Amino acid sequence: MTTGKFDQFWTLITVLLIAIIVIGGIAAWSRYSQPQPIEISIPPSQELQGEIYIGGAVSNPGFYPLEVGDSIEALIQAAGGATGNADLTGLKIYIPWIGEEEQPQKIDLNRAEAWLLKALPGIGETLAQRIIDYRNQNGAFHNIHELIKVAGIGPATYEHIKHLITVAD
């Protein structure tokens, strides 16, 4: 009799273990759902048109037309190409917010031709030529304040245009 009760006990334990395994399997299976297909939606490409500012180590920094399909290389070439000390391994592109106020384009005193210097307020043909002559005789400007050394340009004229000029190496 003891053997019969022992067999019944192990049979009951075995049935309970099987029931637990089956119920656990069903519970696990019911929580498992087939993965939903992933839908990838790419927003329509925006046609980039307008102007782009190219500055830094290029020959002629400034705003240039931007058309669909323009490459970085084509844009750099439009700005006269990169200078010898340009680091082309890390280019920066800045996209302004809508309504963001643009900074005025600065004129490089060391590279500007007379026609560009004449675009500065208060600088006519005579003063533009004096700036070029000063640059040719004394070498490149080291800072914008040196502009006062040019005959005919005083502190008032300098104060009026200092936010529009720069000097590059």
**Please, what are the domains in the chain?**
46-84 (no CATH), 107-166 (1.10.150.320)
The amino acid present at 151, given as its one-letter code, is A
Mean pLDDT of 34-41: 70
Q: Is residue 19 a contact partner of residue 11, using CB atoms and an 8 Å limit? A: no
Q: Is the pLDDT of residue 144 over 80?
A: yes
Neighbours of 131 (CB within 10 A): 23
The per-residue pLDDT for 27 is 80
Could you tell me the CA-to-CA distances from 13 to 17, 20, 25 in Å, in that order?
6, 10, 18
Q: Is the pLDDT of residue 34 over 70?
A: no
pLDDT band at 145 (very low <50, low <70, confident <90, very high): very high
Of the chain, the percentage scoring pLDDT greater than 70 comes to 88
Question: How is residue 10 written in tokens?
Answer: 């192990």
pLDDT band at 33 (very low <50, low <70, confident <90, very high): low
pLDDT band at 6 (very low <50, low <70, confident <90, very high): confident
Beta strands 107-108 and 50-54, pairing class: unpaired
pLDDT tens digits for 53-103?
Answer: 887 788 777 778 888 888 888 888 888 888 888 888 877 777 777 777 777
Dist. CA 101–CA 87, nearest whole Å:
28
Helices (H), 39-140: 72-78, 114-117, 125-138
pLDDT tens digits for 110-142?
Answer: 988 888 898 899 999 999 999 999 999 999 999
Closest CA to 103 of 63, 72, 150: 63
Beta strands 165-166 and 50-54, pairing class: unpaired
